[in-house]
Structure 1
Amino acid sequence: MAVRWAMATWAIHLFGGGTLSLSGYGVLSMSETWWSVMGSLVASPNRRASRSKLAADIWPDKDELAARRCLATTLWRYKTRMPGGASPIRPSGDFVMLCSDTRVWIDVLAFERRAAAAIADPASLADASVRTRLARALALYRDDYLREHEGEAIALERERLRALHLDATYALAMAEATAAQWPAARTALQRLVAAEPLREDAQRLLMTAHIECGNQALAIQQFHGFAALLADELGVEPMPATLALAARIGAVRAGAPVPRDAADAAGLQATMLRVRHDLARTLRLVDRSLAMQKTRPSPPM
């Protein structure tokens, strides 16, 4: 059945490996290069990038003119292959941009809109319907942003969206806990600690959620697993607040002495965790940038 472009609807999924579908045609097969163009565009401010910047990010081993030719060829080739010559990517002079109308739906943008709004206004999550919409948006995050694709813009966007997902998931869990919706809070927290196991505030809230859901054994198991992880990864003990919670739920002996330097250790541990996460993220980006620099041609002498 023919579909007029004026009525066509695109659905673009960028969390995970990337899929593109067009109403009336189903899923379309796209190349790795096309996904690199799409991923870099979505990561660009206002979903718009200059041809030179886009080409340099995708073809770092070529000089500017050759890279721009590769970009022009890619855009032309896929426009001619699309049904009716339509495409969600639109060149405009020296720029390339995404179509910004309602015919194009992108999972990343739908996710980001809800997640960013929740973090900016956590009080809005007192409304159960807002929490439901946020939970649906978080479910769009099936995997990291274009997990198998490289490029500086895509790598930076991947880390930014991952951090946004973790923070929004914690905001949802806190809101569900405040509303005494402990099963929903526990579900969100289990996803969060699976992705970020060293996040101690989430671990504490998950222990509490297990207790509120009537499962003390799971709460105790959660504490001991987390304490072992801290010892193995960082060589430190849980924070005093976590130890106090463990005593209340029976995971450790009530009144057990806390190390004399526990307060100082808690502050140091929090700093170490933040530095560890930031350093790991930075090192990944530096490694990618160095790899890209090695493939760039040397400037003429």
Structure 2
Amino acid sequence: MTPHPMVRLGLLEDFEVSFAGDVLPTSLPAQRLLARLAVVQRGRPVQRSALAERLWPEAAPGRAASSLRSVLWRLPRPRGRTLVTCTSTSVRLSHDVHVDLWDVEEQAQTICSRESPPQEVLDDLTPLTRDLLPTWTEDWLQVEQESFRQKRLHALELSSDALRRCGRFTDALSAGLGAVQAEPLRESAHRSVIAVHLAEGNHAEALRQYDSYRRLLASELGLRPSPAIRTLVAPLLGRPVDLPTG
């Protein structure tokens, strides 16, 4: 039997709700509601009064409750499927809703928790290059955005190292550069890229990556690269490069 299509909730890069390939129109209040249920509640039920208060903090309790009822009433119901499950006292994301954020977090957890992640987990790292609703500035979302960013950066770096060790240099380089692009001042990301270049014997590329990072760090923060990354490229010149003396 062909499985019934699920409602898909996209939270990486742009907000999107889709069903069977069609994008479902959702109002801004509905987007805030669905995002909060997915990001903060993680599918767990939340008291209606608490949810209304957090979504409409400036409104009186009665007005906030009325706004919540209105948003819930107007949510799309593709082929009779509900996006949220409601009781008289609680609201939760429906089991019919598939959230892309949860998938990528599971992928990152698998990569970060194993010394040698399964190769199939490393085959598509593109989702790890996307941020959580980067254009949203909701106060409640900021901690979640940073938490997810750190998870995906660690996963990209570890993926680069794992792919390099098994000789998949092109994929390893893409993963490392993905981490660099997400946070250009992150030294561990640059070390991953340099390590790939060294493994391939591309010494000039390794030195170019180091020099680019060194100049960026000096310009942005007035700092020098750490001994760890300087030691990594030192053998390329046959002498210590920028290593502290004494």
Amino acid at match of 1:123: E
- Give the Cα–Cα distance (whole angstroms) in 2 for the partners of residues 38 and 144 of structure 1: 17
- Alpha-carbon shift at residue 27 of structure 1 (Å): 1.1
- Give the Cα–Cα distance (whole angstroms) in 2 for the partners of residues 142 and 19 of structure 1: 18
Q: Does 1:98 align with 2:93?
A: yes
Query: Deviation per CA, 1:122-159, whole angstroms, max 9, x where unpaired?
Result: 2241x323432xxx3x4224632223334333222222
**Number of residue pairs aligned between Structure 1 and Structure 2:** 243
Same amino acid, percent of matched pairs: 27
Q: TM-score, normalised by structure 1?
A: 0.73
**Which of 197, 213, 221 is the aligned partner of 1:210?**
197
Kindly tell me: are residues 50 and 149 of structure 1, through their superposed partners in 2, closer, same or farther at Cα, counting changes over 3 Å? farther
- Give the Cα–Cα distance (whole angstroms) in 2 for the partners of residues 84 and 236 of structure 1: 58
Given that 1:14 and 1:107 are in contact with CA atoms closer than 8 Å, whether structure 2 keeps it comes out as yes
Given that 1:231 and 1:237 are in contact with CA atoms closer than 8 Å, whether structure 2 keeps it comes out as yes
- Give the Cα–Cα distance (whole angstroms) in 2 for the partners of residues 256 and 165 of structure 1: 31
**Which of 70, 74, 88 is the aligned partner of 2:71?**
74
Kindly tell me: are residues 232 and 28 of structure 1, through their superposed partners in 2, closer, same or farther at Cα, counting changes over 3 Å? same
Given that 1:124 and 1:130 are in contact with CA atoms closer than 8 Å, whether structure 2 keeps it comes out as no
Kindly tell me: are residues 230 and 130 of structure 1, through their superposed partners in 2, closer, same or farther at Cα, counting changes over 3 Å? same
Task: Look up the SS of the partner of 2:73 in the other structure.
Answer: helix
Aligned to 2:243: 258
- Give the Cα–Cα distance (whole angstroms) in 2 for the partners of residues 31 and 205 of structure 1: 42
Kindly tell me: are residues 149 and 58 of structure 1, through their superposed partners in 2, closer, same or farther at Cα, counting changes over 3 Å? farther
More helix by share: 1
- Give the Cα–Cα distance (whole angstroms) in 2 for the partners of residues 256 and 145 of structure 1: 39
Q: TM-score, normalised by structure 2?
A: 0.88
Given that 1:41 and 1:98 are in contact with CA atoms closer than 8 Å, whether structure 2 keeps it comes out as yes
- Alpha-carbon shift at residue 107 of structure 1 (Å): 0.7
Q: Does 1:40 align with 2:33?
A: no
Given that 1:172 and 1:185 are in contact with CA atoms closer than 8 Å, whether structure 2 keeps it comes out as yes
Kindly tell me: are residues 124 and 192 of structure 1, through their superposed partners in 2, closer, same or farther at Cα, counting changes over 3 Å? same
Kindly tell me: are residues 111 and 256 of structure 1, through their superposed partners in 2, closer, same or farther at Cα, counting changes over 3 Å? closer
Query: Deviation per CA, 1:47-89, whole angstroms, max 9, x where unpaired?
Result: 23222232222212212221121111100122xx534443221
Q: Does 1:240 align with 2:231?
A: no
Task: Look up the SS of the partner of 1:123 in the other structure.
Answer: coil
Structure with larger RCO (C-alpha < 8 A, sep 6+): 1
- Give the Cα–Cα distance (whole angstroms) in 1 for the partners of residues 68 and 103 of structure 2: 27
- Alpha-carbon shift at residue 8 of structure 1 (Å): 4.5
Given that 1:43 and 1:153 are in contact with CA atoms closer than 8 Å, whether structure 2 keeps it comes out as no
- Give the Cα–Cα distance (whole angstroms) in 2 for the partners of residues 68 and 91 of structure 1: 13
Amino acid at match of 1:243: R
- Alpha-carbon shift at residue 217 of structure 1 (Å): 2.3
Kindly tell me: are residues 63 and 149 of structure 1, through their superposed partners in 2, closer, same or farther at Cα, counting changes over 3 Å? farther
Aligned to 1:270: none
**Which of 186, 207, 210 is the aligned partner of 2:173?**
186
- Give the Cα–Cα distance (whole angstroms) in 1 for the partners of residues 40 and 133 of structure 2: 15
Amino acid at match of 1:113: E
Given that 2:10 and 2:101 are in contact with CA atoms closer than 8 Å, whether structure 1 keeps it comes out as yes
